[in-house]
Amino acid sequence: MRRRSGFTLIELLVVIAIIAILIGLLLPAVQKVREAAARTQGLNNLKQLALAFHNYQDAQGSLPHNGVWNYADWLWGPPWTNNPPRPEVAQGASWAYKILPYIEQDNLYRNWTYEVPVKTFLDPGRGGSGLSAITYIPNDPDPAAPTTYQAGAVTDYAVNDQVIGSGENTVKTGPGSYNFPQQWWAGVNQWNSYKRTIQGISDGSSNTVLLGEKALATQVYGSRGPGQFMMSNGSMRDKNDDPIAAAGPGIMGLVRAFGPDTVWWIAGDPQPNDPADPYNMSLPGNTYGLVNWAFGWFRFTFEIVHDAPDLDTQNRWGSPYAGVGVFAFADGSIRTIRQGTPYTVVIPLMSPNGGEVLPEF
């Protein structure tokens, strides 16, 4: 009889074990390649956004600011609120809406819809639909229904608020009293005194961050938009992830690096520099000092962190990539900065007119 050749059971198990080991070795390499590709796409997105800011300034004469609440200055007359962004109120809308024509989204700019994400605003390392989890229902009579400012496309990238500001930067309204200018009471647009340009950055455009990736808690990946998320201990925390239909001062989902000149609730009387820590009571280049209740903690919000569960993202930059945050500087260059970089380095990179000597980063 002719003996049939073949594998023994032991040989087959050995082959299967070898294949499993090879797959185990290959998967981390594949994941690293995917992460590198996603990070490269994120850097390219920032490059496109930085170019859009430059092109916007060339066309409009100044950088896009973050508008005003409810587009109020540009809606003098009914209907007053709950209107989607549109070209007629573009000056009152967010920076993200303003630059849509400069990132090949002119159709969305002219024909707004809450169902279209904007790819250039999204880091592929986070996934998701790119839309707020809140759905806008037009003409909903329920007074508690979602407003037009809570729905639509979201962005993974935020602008340096100390560079662009809003249409309602801080004004002093009395002794020890600070607020945003209530222009719509008089129906007059007073933004002209706040216009910013890249050429007006006295610290140098190559030394000042224009925009970068904002930090997000990982729980927010699957439920984007405003509101809160549940932390691991069952308590709630703000998402800080407003969609691009929102506008005005203090819109955490669209801007980072707040300062007392751009957000009135952090503003107080000018303070002398603290020799032990020049960022304790004021931020360089700001007209107003920090309000006294912010002493001791506000400077620590100028962080670059890794996305993580339960993360407090207020005013913080970050990314889903281990080790670095990604940024576009005002000269259009794209750079990475190490996560964990101290605030004594981050704040000088944000202040456009602080006059600091830029430290190594």
When mean pLDDT is compared across 3-7, 176-180, 262-266, 308-312, the lowest value belongs to 3-7
In a domain, 122, yes or no: yes
In a domain, 215, yes or no: yes
Provide the phi-psi class of 264: left if phi over 0, else alpha when psi is between -120 and 50, else beta.
alpha
SS3 content of the chain, % helix, strand, coil (to 5): 35, 15, 55
Indicate if the pLDDT at residue 122 is higher than 60: yes
* Number of domains forming the structure of the chain: 1
Q: Which long-range contacts (CB under 8 A, 24 or more apart) does 22-27 make?
A: none
In a domain, 358, yes or no: no
Provide the pairing of β-strand 267-268 with 289-290: antiparallel
Indicate if the pLDDT at residue 192 is higher than 60: no
CA distance 325 to 303: 10
In a domain, 359, yes or no: no
pLDDT of 261? 92
Tell me the pLDDT of the chain averaged across its residues: 87
pLDDT tens for each residue of 170-184 = 888 888 888 877 554
Which pTM does this prediction carry? Answer: 0.87
pLDDT of 138? 74
Mean pLDDT value of segment 131-144: 77
Mean pLDDT value of segment 89-101: 94
Q: Which two tokens stand for residue 88?
A: 């007629």
In a domain, 1, yes or no: no
Mean pLDDT value of segment 106-133: 94
pLDDT of 146? 67
Indicate if the pLDDT at residue 24 is higher than 80: no
pLDDT tens for each residue of 28-48 = 766 666 766 777 888 999 999
In a domain, 31, yes or no: yes
CA distance 188 to 195: 16
pLDDT level of residue 260 (50, 70, 90 thresholds):
very high
In a domain, 2, yes or no: no
pLDDT of 76? 57
E strand or H helix at 335: strand 334-338
Q: Which of residues 169 and 308 earns the better pLDDT score?
A: 308
In a domain, 251, yes or no: yes
pLDDT of 140? 66
In terms of residue numbers, what domain contains 294?
9-350
pLDDT tens for each residue of 330-358 = 999 999 999 999 999 999 999 999 988 77
Q: Residue 239: what are its φ and ψ, rounded to 5°?
A: -75, -35
